[in-house]
Amino acid sequence: MKKEENKRRKGIFSRIIVWYCIGMITGLSVWAFGILQSTGYDASGILGVSAGVFGGELLLLCVKRILAKDRGNSEEEGTEGKEE
């Protein structure tokens, strides 16, 4: 029962970060489009920086997930060779 709960809770932080980054990029894009419509000024600099920051965060999270060791397998492998 606890293993099922741990599997469900394992990626909650990652999911929150992904949705936050996507939401911020979307919100800033809508905001920049509103500036363009109301004033005629181009906000591409703000969009480039925000996409770089939040996109970089998503990229680092992706690399972390790819390079992370599966902790469940290492615990199981350590107990197989032991006899009680």
Q: Which pLDDT score, from 0 to 100, does residue 72 have?
A: 58
The CA-atom distances, in angstroms, between 72 and each of 6, 15, 76 are 10, 20, 6
pTM: predicted TM-score of the whole model, two decimal places: 0.65
Tens place of pLDDT per residue across the chain (84 aa): 666 666 667 788 888 999 999 999 999 999 999 988 999 888 888 889 988 999 999 999 889 888 887 665 544 445 555 554
Number of separate helices (H) and strands (E) present in the chain:
4, 0
Q: Which pLDDT score, from 0 to 100, does residue 6 have?
A: 67
Q: Which pLDDT score, from 0 to 100, does residue 40 have?
A: 86
